Amino acid sequence: MMKGFIDISYVAVAVVFILGLKAMSSPATARKGIVWAGWAMIAATLVTLFWPGMQNFALMIVAMVIGGSLAWWSGKNVAMTDMPQMVAIYNGMGGGAAAAIAAVEFARGEMHGGMVAFLAVLGALIGSVAFSGSCVAYAKLQGIMKKAYRFPAQNQLNIGLAAVVAILGLAIATSEQPGGWAIVLFFVLSLALGVIVTSPIGGADMPVVISLLNAFTGLAVGFEGYVLGNPALVVAGIVVGASGTLLTQLMAKAMNRPITNVLFTPITGEAQGGEAIEGSMREMGALDAAATMRYANKVIIVPGYGMAVAGAQHKVWEMSQLLEEAGVEVVFAIHPVAGRMPGHMNVLLAEAGVPYDKIFDLEEINADFALSDVALVIGANDVVNPTARTDKSSPIYGMPILNADQAQNVIVIKRGKGAGYSGIENALFYKDNCRMLYGSAQEAVGEIIGHVKSMDA
Amino acid sequence: MEGIVYLYVFVLAAFTGYEVISRVPVILHTPLMSGSNFIHGVVLIGAMVVMGHADPDSPLQLTLGFFAVLLGAANAAGGYVVTERMLAMFKAGKKKGAE
């Protein structure tokens, strides 16, 4: 009787999850979507407490309270710029949970081959890779792990280890009584696989990797759902697996980095020759920058991750309001991968209060650069690098870029002379119409605001 | 449930996931990834069932079950908070969102 009620509740939960996800794919309804899904999750958790034959409640509640409150607290307090790595770490935890479910099932000795054991093993493998891979992704984005580590014969090592794990997994899945050490070794090697596959991948490619690992976790959850005979897990897991795969493709497409390239040929700046760039960078002071923009007709601002880490988005918005009062048209141009993930920069600008009708996608605005007086590039680099259009030997060749170089004047606010996130030199900075304004985005924009104000006073 | 029925569920769920996401604006990519991250936090209920059926006399099963529940709860709670915070910002964008 109780079980029947639980089953019906799970169906309702799965339906609300799908509707919530659907709502989340449109800006007008997105907020409602997550709230619905949140209530569905609470309902699912509550009815599960009444699952027949359950025990160990005390420990279970303790685990829920610890895990839930720590994650809740850290999620509430993290800065918006650090969101991508938080998504990564929570995703890793989901993968770890799926793997741990499989581990308990094996420890109970209830795996005796067949489809159930096969999917338990597959879910454990994918979940473990998602767990350790997400931890590496977190460490990279958080700056704990700065370098991209490449092992000798990286691709062969990946394939070799994957093959060993696959064979071991098959042996466990087909065995009537799998041995304890084989299972332990299987988990250890699966975790190691997640680490060595993600370690060589540079930070710039991480969004795609996180999205892929998110899809992985979905699959792992779906497979363990089959093992447990729990359709809610199956539906939610597979829906996320499929949508996550599509999302990964969309992101990879936006970066013009096929997913196989992301995984097997990481961008490394020093390894690439590329054409030597001639000329020199020219500096500009904040006063000149302020004057150039104050007396322009149209200014396009290209914000990048550098602006976000400096926390300058509020100042930038203040400056653009000031310019608009002076009659200048100011809009924002967002590259699909500006920030650390597609859409990340939109979130950061929204936080600062920039209205949506001032924010344009690459396709919408790229033709406008040639018609604008100033392109102000703040803490962005690779997404405005014209070598992506021209230099076939450049590692970012073919990536769609914002045509900031076509504006009459280009002003680049940048901390120092170093290369960008991917370590590639930027030909834009050496162009005749480009001027560099060195300094942190926060201070530089602050100075510009001061000068613009004094011009109108 | 029969294996073949589950195969149907897998296939139909996969189509659903693909269909639901297929027309999403770029600005929602990150929140949506975060939202789907939250949804696979439902792994928590699987972890609870497994923990609830673990042998109370087996420290190994209890420890693994404990971690399964802890990680699942963290996935769900963290995923929710992060997604909600990102999407809360879209309130300011009603103008364009309502188009």
pLDDT grade for B97, boundaries at 50, 70 and 90: very low
Q: What angle do CA A362, A363, A369 make, to 5 degrees?
A: 70
Residues in chain B with CB shorter than 8 Å from the CB of A21 are 17, 20-21, 32, 35-36, 39
Q: Select the more confidently predicted residue: A1 or A137.
A: A137
Quick one: pLDDT at residue A192? 96
Mean per-residue pLDDT for A346-354?
Answer: 85
Q: Is the pLDDT of residue A360 over 80?
A: yes
Closest A-chain CA to B23? A25
Using a CB-CB cut-off of 8 Å, the residues of chain B touching A33 are: 35, 87
A391 is catalytic: no
Q: Tell which B residues from 44 to 83 touch A, by Cβ distance under 8 Å.
A: 44-56, 58, 60-62, 64-83
- Give me the half-sphere count of Cα atoms (radius 13 Å) on the Cβ side of residue A177: 0
Q: Do A60 and B24 touch (CB under 8 A)?
A: no
pLDDT tens, residue by residue, A27-70: 788 899 999 999 999 999 999 999 999 999 999 999 999 999 99
Query: For residues A122 and B2, which has the higher predicted lDDT (pLDDT)?
Result: A122
Written as one string, the DSSP assignment of A246-276 is: HHHHHHHHHTT--HHHHHHS---GGG---PP
Taking contacts as CB-CB distances below 8 angstroms, the residues of chain B near A243 are: 17-18, 20-21, 32, 36
**pLDDT score recorded for residue B98:** 36
Distance CA(B9)–CA(A231), nearest Å, equals 8
CA distances (Å), A371 to each of A301, A365, A405, in order? Answer: 14, 10, 12
Nearest-Cα distance to chain B for A320, in Å, is 17
CA neighbours within 13 Å on the CB side: how many for A218?
A: 30
Instruction: Verify whether the Cβ–Cβ distance A63 to B69 is below 8 Å.
Output: yes
pLDDT tens-digit readout, A176-197: 888 889 999 999 999 999 999 9
- A419-433, pLDDT tens digit by residue? 665 667 788 888 888
Catalytic residue among A7, A357, A368, A382: A382
Residue corresponding to tokens 């597979």: A238
Closest CA to A233 of A62, A110, A51, A85: A51
pLDDT at A127 over 70: yes
pLDDT band at A277 (very low <50, low <70, confident <90, very high): low
**What's the mean pLDDT when you consider all of chain A?**
87
pLDDT of residue B82: 95
pLDDT value of position A423: 65
Q: Which amino acid is located at A221 in the chain?
A: V
Residues B7-39: b if buried by 16+ CB within 10 A, e if exposed: eebbeebbebbeebbeebbbbbbbbbbbbbbbb
Q: Answer yes or no: is pLDDT of A269 > 80.
A: no
Q: How does pLDDT run across A317-348, given as a tens digit for each residue?
A: 999 999 999 899 999 999 877 776 777 888 88
Looking at the partner chain, which of B22, B54, B94 has a beta carbon nearest the beta carbon of A56?
B54
- Whether B8 has its CB under 8 Å from any CB of chain A: the answer is no
Give A55's DSSP letter: -
Inter-chain residue contact A75 with B77, CB threshold 8 Å: yes
Q: Which residues on B lie below 8 Å from A351 (Cβ)? A: 89
Using DSSP bridges, classify how beta strands A298-303 and A374-378 pair: parallel, antiparallel or unpaired.
Answer: parallel
Q: Which pLDDT value is given to residue A270? A: 42
Query: Is residue B93 over pLDDT 50?
Result: no
* Band (B1; pLDDT cuts 50, 70, 90): low
**Phi–psi pair at A91, nearest 5 degrees:** -65, -45
ipTM: 0.91
Q: From CA A257, how far away is CA A252, in angstroms rounded?
A: 5
Instruction: Assign B45 a pLDDT band (cuts: 50, 70, 90).
Output: very high
Query: Which three-class secondary structure state does DSSP give residue A67?
Result: helix
Residue boundaries of the structural domains of chain B: 27-89
When comparing pLDDT for A174 and A153, which is higher?
Answer: A174
With beta carbons under 8 A apart, name residues in chain B contacting A108. Answer: 53-55, 61
The pLDDT value recorded for residue A9 is 94
User: What is the mean predicted confidence (pLDDT) over A406-412?
Assistant: 91
Q: What is the pLDDT of residue A392?
A: 76
Please, which pLDDT band fits residue A454 given cuts at 50, 70 and 90?
A: confident
Categorize the per-residue pLDDT at A272 as very low, low, confident or very high, splitting at 50, 70 and 90. Answer: very low
- pLDDT value of residue A169: 94
Would you tell me the crossing angle of helices A231-254 and B29-39 to the nearest 10 degrees? 160
**Using CA atoms, how far apart are residues A141 and A265, in angstroms rounded to an integer?**
19
Q: Does residue B78 contact residue A75 with C-beta atoms inside 8 Å? A: yes
Provide the pLDDT for residue A125.
97
pLDDT, one tens digit per residue, over B64-77 is 999 999 999 999 99
Separation in Å, CA of A435 to nearest CA in chain B: 30
Inter-chain CB proximity A90 and B83 less than 8 Å: no
